[in-house]
Chains A and B, each alone.
Chain A
Amino acid sequence: MKSLAVMRNVLRRIARDVRTLALIVVLPLFFVLLYGNSFSGSYHDLTIVIVNEDNGLASVRTAEVGRVTLSVNLADAFVSALDPAMFDVSTSDDPAIATASVEETGVWAALVFPRSFSNAVVNEAVRAGGERRVEFEGDMVTLLPSDPIDGPKMTLALDDGNPLIADAILTAFETAFSQVLATQQSSLTAEGLLDVQALHEGKIRMLDFTAPGIIGFAMTLITVMLTAMSVVRERTSGTLTRILIAPISAWEVTFGYTLAFSLIAIFQAAELFLASTLLFDIRFVGSPGVVALLILLFAIGLQGIATLISTIAKNEAQAMQFILFLLIPSIMVSGVFWPLEMMPATIRPLSYVSPLTYANAGLRKVMLAGGGIGDVRFELAVLGAFALVMLLLSVLSMRRQAYTA
């Protein structure tokens, strides 16, 4: 059968291509390991600040001995009930400083317990749940409901820039409160006790949260594929040899490529942003100029990666496989869908070397929180260094291609 001959020929050719063969074997396993590890993480070390002004006392009417003062320390109990692995808890005496730290220093949440917190919770619990007997100085006494206390609520300043983390923090707080309230035999819910002050105006949807990363990833794929394919085609067609034998330096060739593909990248980014905002009303509250700067540095670095890929790849098919091998994982490890805080320690180093991590973080700061150039200086510095290093490596790689073309 001739089809079998065609099949045998295809397989024989693949078998002769050691790199393709290695990728066929390694790629699926690599993806499974990466995917499994990315998903198996949980939130840890989320920085929060607690301001505990609660005096820990509750003044309650009893049927037997009149009004008594119980020492319940509910705020302390709440802090103890928090998952120590999930939170990195620090304390502060000043509610204003703690609340400001959410906006300024990357603290995820600041929770302020008012002075009469324990008192308010216990009285509200008795009022909601009816008479209840407790031990007081060795005797059992009956707590009586009193008039509703318009007690001060806890104030929670929350960075909601990452809706996944914000939801996780709220859920964890509610769980801790449930445990504390259970000790008071109360049917109260945490919701009624919390006054949440979100950092950002308007709700940040999951769509808004993932958009910067998805746009960054789309750019990564398009830019790297376009550049790598172009360079490989130049090399395999012989035109690269012709260019490199002409009186033009590898630096000039690389820079020419960079200019061309940066223009294309900027055009593509503009198209992506425009379509996202017009069609899906993506949140974009920051400066387009800062976004353009982030995109430009990111795109220059990506072209460097593409040129390096084109040096290694013998042909376009191999280049495509290297691109898949390098780039598909980047969307899993760069905090696009799952926050970096959730990544297991085994995966985190990959997150930190992925340029998409910094592009995504920078774009989020500008698009979601309206950050200016000063807010993204770290991301700009990392992407700038990435662009510079990649540009230098691609010049070296271009020189090398002169001898391998």
Chain B
Amino acid sequence: MPVEQVVLATGLRKRFGKRMALDGLDLSVTQGQLYGLAGPNGAGKTTLIRTLCGLLRPDEGEANLLGWRMPSARVRSQLGYMPQDYAVYDDLSVLQNLEFFGGLYELRRAQVRERANELLDLVQLADRRSQRVGTLSGGMRRRVSLAISLLHKPRLAFLDEPTAGVDPKLRRSFWDHFNGLAEQDVTLVVTTHLVEEALRCHIVGFLNAGRLLAQGTPDEILAETSTSNLDDAFIVLQDRGEAAR
């Protein structure tokens, strides 16, 4: 496998009871790509991310990250993961959360402080660093969660709806940051519901019922669906998916 192909999944199948969450899915993401995963609720986006990260074992198929077959302990230090839940300690302060997870990635205290300053500026929580996370709003907690995910400068990051509950201005600055990271060869796989976010991705994959119905640049998706905007394109793709079932 070429090294620049940092995510390579083939024939992923995952069933929960009678429901097929991933249905023979193939995915390839190259280094420095900002890959947007779009699709309706229950399409399998979170299951795909968890399977790729090695948190779920696929029933069939395999996933390789950074050249290692998952689950593999070797990629963990280079992997960033922001789950859909907040996944933060409510009873600790913002900084204490960052310090704990930084410690797990073997960052020294000074490194954590330096990164914390950068990331708390990004997520606009610098003035809340000593505040207990449990006292923050839902959107702010998500921002703490994002800061934790990027703390150790991962080569590959999976961000599951990082902008949910975040106001438009801050959302834009997040995406500026994601694009900046991609320019530094960091690979990002980001799930989103929002069309304007999908437009900022290099590649968009449209997932429905555990299948990747379409994949390409936003322009390619528009051309493939013969639509003029991604909103319509997604509706067309969703209708196609339902018709195919």
| Residues of A near any B CB (own CB < 8 A) | 237-239, 241-249, 402-403, 405
Contact = CB atoms under 8 A, between A and B. Distances in A.
* Interface magnitude class on chain B: 20 to 34
Given A246-B101, A403-B55, A403-B57, A238 B76 contact: no
B83 interface: yes
A238 B76 CA distance: 17
B77 A245 contact: no
Nearest to B81: A245
Given A237-B85, A238-B83, A239-B89, A246 B55 contact: no
Given A402-B55, A403-B55, A245 B76 contact: yes
B224 interface: no
A238 B86 contact: yes
Interface centre among A239, A245, A249 (most CB of B within 10 A): A245
Nearest to A248: B104
A303 B245 CA distance: 48
Given A245-B79, A249-B73, A237 B56 contact: no
Interface in B190-240: none
Given A237-B86, A237-B87, A242-B83, A247 B105 contact: yes
Given A237-B85, A239-B88, A245 B105 contact: no
Contacts of A402: 54-55, 71
B8 interface: no
Nearest to B56: A403
B57 A242 contact: no
Given A245-B53, A246-B76, 7 more contacts: A242-B148, A245-B54, A245-B76, A245-B81, A246-B104, A403-B56, A403-B57
A402 B54 CA distance: 9
A246 B151 CA distance: 12
Interface of B: 53-57, 71, 73, 76-77, 79, 81, 83, 85-90, 101, 104-106, 148
A238 B105 contact: no
Contacts of B57: 403
- For the complex of A and B, list the 3 residue pairs with the smallest distance between their C-beta atoms, beginning with the closest: A238-B87, A238-B85, A246-B104
Contacts of A249: 73
A325 to B, nearest CB: 27
A22 to B, nearest CB: 19
B230 to A, nearest CB: 30
A370 to B, nearest CB: 44
Contacts of A243: 104
20 contacts: A237-B85, A239-B87, A239-B88, A239-B89, A241-B81, A242-B83, A242-B87, A245-B55, A245-B76, A245-B79, A245-B81, A246-B105, A247-B76, A247-B104, A247-B105, A247-B106, A248-B104, A402-B55, A403-B55, A405-B55
A243 B104 CA distance: 8
A402 to B, nearest CB: 6
A239 B97 CA distance: 10
Nearest to A245: B81
Nearest to B104: A246
Contacts of A403: 55-57
Contacts of B76: 245-247
Contacts of A244: 55
A399 to B, nearest CB: 10
Nearest to A239: B87
Contacts of B54: 245, 402
Nearest to A253: B104
A405 B85 CA distance: 11
A246 B101 CA distance: 8
Interface centre among B88, B90, B104, B148 (most CB of A within 10 A): B104
A25 to B, nearest CB: 24
Contacts of B71: 402
A241 B148 contact: no
Contacts of B56: 403
A396 B85 CA distance: 25
A240 to B, nearest CB: 9
Nearest to B84: A238
Contacts of A242: 81, 83, 87, 101, 148
A261 B25 CA distance: 43
Nearest to B89: A239
Nearest to B97: A239
B79 to A, nearest CB: 7
B87 A241 contact: yes
A243 B83 CA distance: 12
Nearest to A240: B87
A247 B73 contact: yes
Contacts of A238: 83, 85-87
Contacts of B79: 245
A398 to B, nearest CB: 13
Contacts of B73: 247, 249
Interface centre among A238, A241, A244, A246 (most CB of B within 10 A): A246
B14 to A, nearest CB: 12
A403 B47 CA distance: 12
A247 B77 contact: yes
A405 to B, nearest CB: 7
A243 B87 CA distance: 10
B74 to A, nearest CB: 9
A249 B104 CA distance: 10
A153 B55 CA distance: 76
